Structure 1
Amino acid sequence: MDSLIAESANVIDGATSISYTGRRLSERVERAAEASDSVRYGTVLALTPLSVAGVMRFLGVWASRRPIALVDANTPREHLGELVWRYQPVLITGVRDPEVHHGLGVPFDGYVEREHDGLGPCWERLAPPDHRPDPELGLLLSTSGSTGSPKLVRLPRTAVVSNARAIAKALEIGPADVAATCLPLFYSYGLSVLTSHLAAGAAVVVVDGGVLSRGFWDAAAAHKVTSLSGVPYSYQLLDRMRWEPSASPGVRVLTQAGGQLAPELIAAFDRKMEAVGGRMYVMWGQTEAAARMTVLPSCLTRTRLGSVGVPVEGGRITIEPPDAPGRDVAPGTIGEVVYRGPNVMWGYAESSADLADRDLVGGTLRTGDLGRLDEDGYLWLIGRLRRIAKVFGNRVSLDDVERLLAPLGEFAAVSRYDQVVVVGEAVDGQGRRTVLDALSRGLRLDRSGFVVESVDALPRLPNGKVDYRTLDREGTR
């Protein structure tokens, strides 16, 4: 069985308070599935806003057993055109959604606009695609929520379902739980919040705007939301807002993934939740694993502060030398984190021909993350394997640079030519001198190897992570 919807699952429209559960939910999903089935078999490319319509389109296409690629509703036409050219979707959904603010204009060459009951206005491909996708291929996502690369992650149906159920079990999600859509659905973590709750028979309040929106908090209060999920940036915003559980009395669970949150913030939010009998979970994952691989049990947040926990059910982690794959190292030794489990992707795709391939990685994901396992099997992440710069011939970890500067504020480090460029928000002259002193002293390298730049706001991806691609636009090496 690869259904993502348990019998008691509930999708609630945060704007209208309309609830879709039981027969009402199944009828909406069936209508979308029938519309998907009305066209020839192939991939569906879904422009996916945070809306009930976006959720129903995803669930309907999933029920029709067709691969679905979820992309940002505001993907620029030129980038959308490249995705269409590469992957030859038989349907493009969401083309007239009100959330598509910039407008897409007329259909692409070879497509015609048609209304499909259950899916809404779609662009339908007139010619069959050159390649038939594998029938067990379920989901296509861009890594990290970025729309800057046409390469997509190929996730089989079994990977999506197994991870949804494993997460539901690890987080103890049950039918009484109510989650809110704090993150985009085209981002693997945001989609995982949806699928794990629906698979457990819980409720999901679909509301746009995030934690800075009054409408978000109004919907959370009206529908008695019990859990909030966020990336590090989400919790930085909540910290700046001085959020307290008393402001959202129903919230009893916080979950965090999508990057490493500062230990002091983890501890602070853990204390807030413990004071009201709630729980704080720290997790780690990647889009390539559909999308969460480890969970730190909430009871250990304080005693293992900084760890991202143990693998979810069915998963296994080893630490291997980057230059000797397949060879385990002793506990405590730093190496590349390798994950094995049923939720691992089949590989990447760069064209429609790749969608016909089956599993090319054998359930093994070399994550590119550096980490270590302690004696009890808990994972501690150190940084990225390839986030390395050279300064005066010395290898410098850009992750180490950011950690070194964390007490001074949030900074993003990139490599440009033979220097490390550190970018921060509203850094004045004294701030630059302080940063350069900290880098020179902490890394034992001359200050001339570093440049400090100031911006009004760090560029961010839809998932809240720093957009290093934008910061790298001058070229890196």
Structure 2
Amino acid sequence: MTLWGAGARLVDAAGGRTLAGDELDAEVARVAVALGELPVGVLFARMSVDLASVLRYLGAVEAHRAVALIDPALDADVLAGLITRFRPAAVLAAPDAPAPEGYTASGDNWLRDSADGVKPHPDLAVLLPTSGSTGNPKLVRLSRTGLLANAEAIAEVLHVDSAEIAPTCLPLHYSYGLSVLNSHLVRGATVVIEASGVLGRGFWDAVTEYGITSLSGVPYHYEMLRRLKFDPAKYPTLRTLTQAGGKLRDELVVEFNDKMRAVGGRMYVMYGQTEASPRMTTVPAERLADKIGSAGPALPGGAFSVRRDDGVETTHPKIVGEVVYRGLNVMMGYADDEAGLAAGDECGGLLATGDLGYLDEEGYLFITGRLKRIGKVFGNRVSLDDLEHAVRQAAVGIEVVAAVAAGDKVVLFAELPEGDGAKAICKDASRALADRLHLHTSGFDVRPIDTVPLLASGKIDYRSLEGRV
């Protein structure tokens, strides 16, 4: 399985180096040989946004070494727990700290002292943690077939070809960021490795210098770009926007789609999960304006159904239930520890997403919430996602908000400057929710916060907020 096609290029913006053709092949082969000599077991690769990390990833895949892509900012205790449970053959680009028991530091890596270990299943290519920087994450097991099938399907619907130049504007340990890398390399396109992200000055300099053609972001990025008054007319080569990682407000979809159409560009809204390697849908750019609110139809090779409360699956339009996806890109399963690495495919291409939604008459998916994103207010079940949406729609001055369950009430953290004005806005938001749901205002504890905490992926760090209630 080779993830890069003829003509693929890696451009290192920080180092000024470009790898392509025979030189790219040779560099990946060099890394693959070194990784192939390590003891049996999974590899842990701490994935910074740099050329070395990309080469480690490509080298591991080329060497048929299962590799877990790890956030370099992962809490030390969480990393230690993962090492204990999965006993990796090596931790690549290890932290600047003493090696844990059973490991020896060697250059930038920690190498396991013991040669004994569990041999991962031969189909296993990549493992990604299920949660952010805290907790006790499981690892999602992604197959070579699934990764390649998803990369090809994404490239097809986004019309990626060798002329495209995509930046690494998302973390590479995040499934969305990884899929941008895969779907461009597989079509022989160029990937510019630039670490500052879409909110950094260096990114926009790189857009101009390298003629970057696309930008990928999660909802938070688009909220911030709106505040920064993003104007695509300033960047003549940038003509494609893609959005995933959660539902973007309909009004922002309209706004950014209109901006791109005005300069002859295009916008794609997508939906996915890490467990699907990771994307499942894309709204065609030419249909976005008349499908506002939709996540789109299934990618080529995939299919959706909806599971009703009685367990029956249906594709009948407008039936709301748990969204079920089928496709080659569905994970092999989860791994809780080292023994789970040897397991084969336990999902059979079927993924119960945990999302609630429905299909329309054309098979376009609409997500309405999460099964587990539920809170209770005085015994009444409420969708936390719906509450966030209601606060933004209330026109009280809150644009960024995160809701978490807190016993018999809900706490909503609103990104606002400190002061009496913030307190008044929060009271207005509480009253708006109370009026909407016909419940007492005390059930909606709206609190100002300087900045809503985010994971490295740009998604809201709900676990961190839960620790504040």
TM-score range, shorter chain: over 0.9
- Counterpart Cα distance in 2 of 1:81 and 1:129: 19
Please state how far the C-alpha of 1:145 moved relative to its aligned partner: 4.9
Shift of 1:157: 1.1
Aligned-residue offset at 1:150: 2.5
Contact 1:144 1:188 in 2 (8 A): no
Does residue 215 (structure 1) correspond to residue 202 (structure 2)? The answer is yes
Match of 1:352 among 338, 349, 362: 338
Q: For 1:201 and 1:60, how far apart are their aligned partners in 2?
A: 17
Q: Equivalent residue for 1:111?
A: 103
Cα pair 2:46 2:91 within 8 Å, conserved: yes
- Which residue in the other structure is 1:81 paired with? 80
1:105-160 Cα offsets, whole Å, 9 max, x none, are: 12111112224xxxxx3211121344221111111001365553331111111111
Which has the higher mean CA deviation after the structures are superposed, 262-271 or 71-80? 71-80
Q: Please tell me the root mean square deviation across aligned C-alpha atoms, in Å.
A: 1.4
Are the structure 2 counterparts of residues 425 and 138 from structure 1 closer, same or farther at C-alpha, using a change threshold of 3 Å? same
Partner of 2:424: 430
Instruction: Name the structure 1 match of 2:408.
Output: 418
How far the C-alpha of 1:326 sits from its partner, in A, is 4.5
**Aligned partner (choices 454, 457, 460) of residue 451 of structure 2:** 457
Counterpart-to-counterpart distance in 1, 2:324 and 2:116? 35
CA contact (8 A) 1:90 1:129 kept: no
Write the deviation string for residues 69-93 of structure 1: whole angstroms up to 9, x where unpaired. 0011222332211111111110111
Contact 1:183 1:463 (8 Å CA) reproduced: yes
Aligned position for 1:131: 118
Report the secondary structure of 2:16's partner residue. coil
Unaligned runs of 5+ in 2: none
Structure 1 ranges of 4+ moved more than 6 A: none
What TM-score comes out, normalization by structure 2 length?
0.96
Letter in 2 for 1:111: Y
Tell me, what secondary structure is at the counterpart of 2:198? helix
* Residue 255 to residue 183, structure 1, CA distance change in 2 (3 Å): same
Give CA-to-partner distance per residue, 1:387-426, whole Å, 9 cap, x none. 1112222111111111111134221111111111111122
How far is 1:474 from its partner?
Answer: 5.2
Tell me the residue number matched to 2:27: 28
Q: Distance in 1 between matches of 2:359 and 2:75?
A: 42
Q: Distance in 2 between matches of 1:145 and 1:226?
A: 30
**Match for residue 363 of structure 1 among 349, 354, 357:** 349
Give the stretch that moved more between structures: 41-50 or 130-139.
130-139
Deviations 1:236-267 (A, max 9, x none): 11111111112221101000000011111111
1:228 & 1:9 partners in 2: Cα distance? 18
Distance 1:383 1:444, change over 3 A: same
TM-score (ref. length: structure 1): 0.94
Match of residue 439 from structure 2: 445
Q: Following superposition of structure 1 onto structure 2, how do residues 278-357 of structure 1 map, counting pairs within 5 Å?
A: 278-321=265-308, 323-328=309-314, 330-357=316-343
Kindly indicate whether residue 176 of structure 2 is the aligned counterpart of residue 186 of structure 1: no
Matched, 1:388 2:374: yes
**Contact in 1 for aligned 2:409/2:444 (Cα 8 Å):** yes
Query: For the residues of structure 1 that align with 2:27 and 2:117, how far apart are their CA atoms?
Result: 31
**Identity across matched positions, percent:** 45
Q: Are positions 1:402 and 2:396 aligned together?
A: no
* CA distance 1:129–1:300, shift in 2 (3 Å): farther
Matches within 5 A, 1:155-174: 155-174=142-161
SS of the aligned residue for 2:314 comes to coil
Letter in 2 for 1:406: R
Query: Following the alignment from structure 1 to structure 2, what is the Cα–Cα distance between the partners of residues 148 and 215?
Result: 33
Tell me if 1:473 matches 2:467: yes
Contact 1:88 1:129 in 2 (8 A): no
Is the CA contact 2:40–2:118 (under 8 Å) kept in the aligned structure 1?
A: no
**5+ long unaligned stretches in structure 1:** 96-102, 116-120
What does residue range 27-46 of structure 1 map to in structure 2 within 5 Å?
27-46=26-45
SS in 1 for 2:313: coil
CA displacement at 1:270 relative to structure 2: 0.8
Cα distance between partner residues in 1 of 2:141 and 2:355? 20
- Judge conservation of contact 2:40–2:116 (CA < 8 Å) in 1: no
Which deviates further from its counterpart, 336-345 or 381-390?
381-390
> Could you tell me whether the CA contact under 8 Å between 1:142 and 1:149 is conserved in 2?
no
1:118 aligns with none
Residue identity matched to 2:436:
G
